[in-house]
């Protein structure tokens, strides 16, 4: 198993950390000077690597800023990056690894299926995990050590249904979703939002997460002449579905969650195909506020590319962890989990208030894709 590692470590502390109980710093007492070991687990290879790479950059930006400002009560944060390859089995093995090597917290992953596989191990090890996954099944675990730095699909898709049905009056809506953890969550949440409005989809097609040819599914959808095609899939697959739908002559408006607000979606679908796609997301634009503008500017200075929702989400999650670590003096375990739950933060995605299920953000907004980028709907 391969993984990249960037560390700010003292060799003596690493030896001590290996002897620490799971979820606990080897030297949490006052006056400790060794680094605090934080794991960032995210796909750096495979189909979901773009998400993992964005997430790592957002996390690293927050950690670098904290370390330059003196760290946590004078102790530096050691950030180690591990590649889960978007694979739950690899994620499970990595969870065991960090539980045995003295890591006191984990940031990631962006993939709900991987996070779901890791969660029981991290719970048993008392390692708090701030994840970017958004499957409702994550909240349903009710793990005291699992925290979501974005809304679940329930919030994303209720906002979407309100816009499409209540505001725009669409009734002929078709669904195509994959049966992975993310896609299934999106499908179920959007279907529930439609049913609450007495809307029955004209078509409801289910595909697999690794499927690339959707012509048979889309041919069935085309027969129903939908006004809207809801796509419940990750970035690349959403783009492929949209591209093939247009090639088959489907003229419906495309709609979905945050994956459709990325340049990966727009590039895969083609800019013309992606135009006017409807996106539900808590983060729509790098121009939304003075705080977001400042964040986007420092991110671009650090990495030479534009910020986006996944970057901001990971930055928020890392910032919350840092704030909680300062409250515990670097101590992990239950004390750190309780501190995270108590953090109230005005973040880039919104105002964080963690509920009993570990969900921190409870609102999304509507945007439209214009020239490959998302603009707030009100500005369209």
Whether 160 and 277 have beta carbons less than 8 Å apart is answered as no
User: Do 212 and 311 reside in the same domain of the chain?
Assistant: no
User: Do 85 and 193 reside in the same domain of the chain?
Assistant: no
Dist CA 257 CA 94 (whole Å): 28
DSSP sequence for 133-198? ---HHHHHT--TTEEESS--HHHHHHHHHIIIIIIT----EEEEEESSHHHHHHHHHHHHHHHTTT
User: Do 77 and 177 reside in the same domain of the chain?
Assistant: no
User: Do 96 and 193 reside in the same domain of the chain?
Assistant: no
The pLDDT of residue 378 is 72
- Token pair belonging to 265: 């979606």
The neighbouring-strand residues paired with 345 are: 352
Express each pLDDT in 355-377 by its tens digit. 999 999 999 999 999 999 899 99
**Domain assignment present for 316:** yes
The pLDDT of residue 21 is 43
Q: Which domain holds residue 248?
A: 154-281
User: Do 277 and 164 reside in the same domain of the chain?
Assistant: yes
In the predicted model, is pLDDT for residue 22 greater than 80? no
The average pLDDT across 343-348 equals 96
Express each pLDDT in 299-309 by its tens digit. 999 999 999 99
**Domain assignment present for 252:** yes
**Domain assignment present for 222:** yes
Helix (H) or strand (E) holding 38: strand 36-41
User: Do 308 and 242 reside in the same domain of the chain?
Assistant: no
CA geometry: angle 332, 330, 137, nearest 5 deg: 40
User: Do 110 and 177 reside in the same domain of the chain?
Assistant: no
**Domain assignment present for 217:** yes
User: Do 66 and 48 reside in the same domain of the chain?
Assistant: yes
In the predicted model, is pLDDT for residue 298 greater than 50? yes
User: Do 94 and 145 reside in the same domain of the chain?
Assistant: yes
Of the residues 238, 260, 281, which one is the last residue of a structural domain?
281
CATH number at residue 71: 3.40.50.2300
User: Model-level pTM?
Assistant: 0.87
The pLDDT of residue 32 is 61
CA 208 to centroid of chain Cα atoms? 20
**Domain assignment present for 57:** yes
> What's the number of domains the chain is made of?
2
Whether 258 and 54 have beta carbons less than 8 Å apart is answered as no
Dist CA 89 CA 158 (whole Å): 32
User: Do 257 and 310 reside in the same domain of the chain?
Assistant: no
The pLDDT of residue 5 is 42
**Domain assignment present for 16:** no
User: Do 69 and 86 reside in the same domain of the chain?
Assistant: yes
Whether 284 and 315 have beta carbons less than 8 Å apart is answered as no
**Domain assignment present for 380:** no
**Domain assignment present for 44:** yes
In the predicted model, is pLDDT for residue 107 greater than 60? yes
pLDDT band of residue 48 (cuts 50, 70, 90) is confident
Residues making up the chain, counted from first to last: 380
Dist CA 66 CA 107 (whole Å): 15
User: Do 101 and 215 reside in the same domain of the chain?
Assistant: no
């Amino acid at each position: 198993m391969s993984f990249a590692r960037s560390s700010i470590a003292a060799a003596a502390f690493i030896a001590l950390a290996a002897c620490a109980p799971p979820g606990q710093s080897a030297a949490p007492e006052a006056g400790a000077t060794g680094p605090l070991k934080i794991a960032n687990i995210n796909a750096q290879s495979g189909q979901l690597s773009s998400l993992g790479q964005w997430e790592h950059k957002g996390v690293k930006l927050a950690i670098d800023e904290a370390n330059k400002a003196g760290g946590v009560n004078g102790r530096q944060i050691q950030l180690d990056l591990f590649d889960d390859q978007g694979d739950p089995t690899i994620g499970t093995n990595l969870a065991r690894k960090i539980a045995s090597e003295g890591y006191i917290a984990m940031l990631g992953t962006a993939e709900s299926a991987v996070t779901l596989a890791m969660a029981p191990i991290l719970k048993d090890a008392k390692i708090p995990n701030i994840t970017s996954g958004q499957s409702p099944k994550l909240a349903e675990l009710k793990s005291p050590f699992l925290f979501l730095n974005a809304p679940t699909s329930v919030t994303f898709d209720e906002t979407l249904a309100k816009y499409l049905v209540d505001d725009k009056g669409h009734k002929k809506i078709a669904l195509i979703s994959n049966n992975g953890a993310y896609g299934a969550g999106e499908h179920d949440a959007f279907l529930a939002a439609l049913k609450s409005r007495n809307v029955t989809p004209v078509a409801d097609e289910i595909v697999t997460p690794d499927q690339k040819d959707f012509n048979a599914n889309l041919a069935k959808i085309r027969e129903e002449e939908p006004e809207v095609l809801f796509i419940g899939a990750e970035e690349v697959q959403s783009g492929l579905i949209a591209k093939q739908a247009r090639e088959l002559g489907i003229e419906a408006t495309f709609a979905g969650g945050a994956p459709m607000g990325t340049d990966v979606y727009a590039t895969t679908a083609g800019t013309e195909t992606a135009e006017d796609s409807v996106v539900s997301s808590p983060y729509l634009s790098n121009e939304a506020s003075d705080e977001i503008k400042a964040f986007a500017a420092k991110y671009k200075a650090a990495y030479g590319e534009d910020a986006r929702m996944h970057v901001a989400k990971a930055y928020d999650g890392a910032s919350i962890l840092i704030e909680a670590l300062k409250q515990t003096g670097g101590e992990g375990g239950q004390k750190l989990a309780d501190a995270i739950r108590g953090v109230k933060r005005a973040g880039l995605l919104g105002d964080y208030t963690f509920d009993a299920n570990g969900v921190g953000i409870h609102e999304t907004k509507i945007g439209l894709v214009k020239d490959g980028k998302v603009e707030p709907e009100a500005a369209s």
